[in-house]
A = this chain, B = another copy of it.
Amino acid sequence: MPRELIDLLWRDHPDAPSGGARGPRARISTGSVVEAAIRLADADGLGAVTIRRLAADLGVSTMSIYTHVNTRDDLLVLMADVAHGSAAPAPEGGASPSADWREQVRLLAEANLDLLRRHPWLLEIADDRSALGPGTIAKYDHELAALAPLGLDDVATDAALTFVLDFVRASARALRPQPHAGELAASWPQWGPRLAGYLGDDFPLAQRVGAAAGEAMGGVGEPSLAWSFGLARVLDGLAALRP
């Protein structure tokens, strides 16, 4: 059994236990396992992140993975923390701290949307233990700083941050390609008319609005109307807190 999750999360910290120097030199490390897992998830989805597949990619036997990671669930936490740490920490300090809070929040939202588009598998990881890792904490820290111009107290600032991030998360979820989209598209020629038959004249409101919304989605290629609409709502909602 390797070290505990908390120490694996902080494996790059000078105080982290490094394990004795005895025995053969390790051919792989926790870090390399996590990196390989992220590459795999980026390419083929989280479902492709298999202990066996990981081991094959790293050129070791299946069970060797467990020398560097306790459990698949722990691995997911490590992956999430690394991804969080890779989110650009906002180029602040030098040029433009931009006291305009609306712009700050918009940038924060866009940075997070970008992160979730680069690593869609983050949406599938429910485990909150990554909140203990350095990447996640650093992200939390500089995002709180971005909300500082709002002038809220600590508890409200935290609530505002989760409010914004939850919106981004939901938007990213809607944007990502659905798992069974292909099959649905394939059988739509038959299903569409059949559905129309079932619906008949029921739910006129849903039929009209659904059609309009569907058409707006498949439009000129606007990435998502829901994004701009929702972001404007978020900003206006936060604006109501200002004096």
Residue from B134, B157, B212 within 8 A of A158 (CB atoms): B212
Q: What 0/1 readout, one digit per residue, does chain A (195-222) give for beta carbons within 8 Å of chain B?
A: 1011100010110111011001000000
Q: What 0/1 readout, one digit per residue, does chain A (117-141) give for beta carbons within 8 Å of chain B?
A: 0000000001111001010011011
Q: How large is the interface on A (under 10, 10 to 19, 20 to 34, 35 or more residues)?
A: 35 or more
The answer on a CB contact under 8 Å between B199 and A137 is: yes
Given contacts A205-B144, A209-B158, contact A166 B167 (CB under 8 A): yes
Oligomer: number of copies: 2
Indicate whether A97 reaches chain B with its CB closer than 8 angstroms.
no
Which residues of B lie under 8 Å from residue A66 when comparing CB positions?
none
Given contacts A127-B179, A205-B144, contact A10 B166 (CB under 8 A): no
Indicate whether A57 reaches chain B with its CB closer than 8 angstroms.
no
Which residues of B lie under 8 Å from residue A173 when comparing CB positions?
126
A178 CB to nearest chain B CB (Å): 5
Which residues of B lie under 8 Å from residue A174 when comparing CB positions?
162, 166
Q: How far does the alpha carbon of A213 sit from the alpha carbon of B154 in the complex, in Å? A: 7
Which residues of B lie under 8 Å from residue A236 when comparing CB positions?
236-237, 239-240
If over half of A's interface residues share one DSSP class (helix, strand or loop), that class is named, otherwise mixed; here it is helix
The answer on a CB contact under 8 Å between A230 and B137 is: no
Q: How far does the alpha carbon of A232 sit from the alpha carbon of B160 in the complex, in Å? A: 11
A199, A209, A210, A240 — which one has the most chain B CB atoms within 10 A of its CB? A209
Which residues of B lie under 8 Å from residue A158 when comparing CB positions?
209-210, 212-213
